[in-house]
């Protein structure tokens, strides 16, 4: 891997390139990678920078230390004014929107715990691979602070009944249950987590980066539309895609039985 953060010193993150995959490591192990305001702002800046790099085809998001992410940093949430909380949760919302807004698919690599806003991170990422020892929870109800913003991502990733059970009880669910519920894509032994996540990221990054970005954007645009509106929208997206250079290259490569050569990265 190569360090891509030489021009920017991050306090709470490590950034590396692994070929066409950008690896973002949350690096607050002593705080279980809790999302302080500064940590979230760094994540937003780093992800936006990655989003502008056409040579990057996928992103993996991992956590240093024993946890993936323990949610918001509660140490920053004592004796604050209403507008300060509005700002804090607004930055968190921007982070989640940035993950889904950049063209590259973001893959969560989950070990240990992912709780509250950490569970929100997993639910927000486009894909997720979890160690079979990982645990997921939205325990805010037990602290008197309902996980309302994590609820947005969670309720869109899993069924209503499972989302409400997690939100109303705060009970953690294991990796296999998270897989059955649709919160993660794959569950693997801890010793295989990094390799399995990398393999998935490389598989995604092998396709045309331009086409993957187009498809990711279209997915989130159509997901909450009516079926008629979704078909109208995606018909136009696919028609334009078919006229693009990479669209034509892929079709011709298939017909000619040769590997495609994608455009500039």
**pLDDT score, position 195:** 98
Is residue 1 scored above 80 in pLDDT? no
Angle (CA) 64 70 74, round 5° = 125
Is residue 250 scored above 50 in pLDDT? yes
pLDDT, mean over the chain:
96
**pLDDT score, position 6:** 47
| Residue 146: band (very low, low, confident or very high) from pLDDT cuts 50, 70, 90 | very high
Q: State how far the Cα of 124 lies from the Cα of 110, in Å rounded to an integer.
A: 13
Is residue 265 scored above 70 in pLDDT? no
Structure tokens at 137: 């929870």
> Residue 34: CB partners within 8 Å, gap ≥ 6?
28, 69, 70, 71, 72, 73, 74, 75
- Torsion from C-alpha of 118, 57, 127, 142, nearest 10 degrees: 10
| Residue 24: band (very low, low, confident or very high) from pLDDT cuts 50, 70, 90 | very high
The pTM (predicted TM-score) of the whole model is 0.95
Phi, psi of 13, rounded to the nearest 5 degrees: -135, 155
Instruction: Express each pLDDT in 211-246 by its tens digit.
Output: 999 999 999 999 999 999 999 999 999 999 999 999
**pLDDT score, position 7:** 55
Is residue 69 scored above 50 in pLDDT? yes
Instruction: Express each pLDDT in 87-138 by its tens digit.
Output: 999 999 999 999 999 999 999 999 999 999 999 999 999 999 999 999 999 9
Name the residue with tokens 């490389």. 202
Name the residue with tokens 């991992």. 62
> Residue 28: CB partners within 8 Å, gap ≥ 6?
12, 34, 36, 39, 64, 65
Cβ–Cβ < 8 Å for 138, 164: no
**pLDDT score, position 264:** 72
**pLDDT score, position 210:** 95
Instruction: Express each pLDDT in 155-202 by its tens digit.
Output: 999 999 999 999 999 999 999 999 999 999 999 999 999 999 999 999
> Residue 102: CB partners within 8 Å, gap ≥ 6?
47, 48, 50, 51, 59
Give the residue from 59, 67, 226 showing the smallest Cα distance to 136: 67
> Which domains, and CATH codes, for the chain?
2-205 (3.90.226.10), 209-255 (1.10.12)
Give the residue from 229, 230, 258, 263 showing the smallest Cα distance to 246: 263
**pLDDT score, position 2:** 66
Is residue 5 scored above 60 in pLDDT? no
């Amino acid at each position: 891997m190569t360090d891509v953060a030489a021009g920017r010193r991050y306090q709470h993150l490590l950034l590396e390139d692994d070929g066409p995959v950008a690896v973002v490591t949350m690096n607050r192990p002593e705080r279980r990678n809790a999302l302080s305001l500064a940590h979230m702002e760094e994540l937003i800046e780093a992800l936006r920078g990655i989003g502008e790099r056409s040579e990057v085809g996928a992103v993996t998001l991992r956590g240093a230390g024993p946890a993936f992410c323990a949610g918001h940093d509660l140490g920053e949430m004592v004796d604050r004014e209403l507008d300060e909380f509005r700002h804090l949760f607004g930055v968190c919302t921007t982070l989640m929107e940035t993950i889904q807004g950049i063209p590259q698919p973001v893959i969560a690599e989950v070990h240990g715990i992912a709780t509250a806003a950490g569970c929100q991170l997993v639910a927000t990422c486009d894909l997720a691979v979890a160690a079979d020892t990982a645990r997921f929870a939205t325990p805010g109800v037990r602290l008197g602070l309902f996980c309302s913003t994590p609820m947005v991502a969670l309720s869109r990733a899993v069924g209503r009944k499972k989302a409400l059970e997690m939100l109303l009880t705060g009970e953690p669910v294991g990796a296999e249950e998270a897989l059955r519920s649709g919160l993660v894509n794959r569950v693997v032994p801890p010793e295989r987590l990094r390799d399995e996540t990398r393999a998935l990221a490389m598989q995604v990054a092998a396709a045309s980066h331009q086409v993957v970005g187009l498809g990711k954007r279209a997915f989130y645009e159509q997901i909450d539309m009516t079926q008629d509106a979704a078909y109208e929208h995606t018909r136009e997206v696919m028609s334009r895609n078919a006229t693009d250079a990479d669209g034509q290259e892929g079709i011709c490569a298939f017909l000619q039985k040769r590997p495609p050569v994608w455009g500039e990265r």
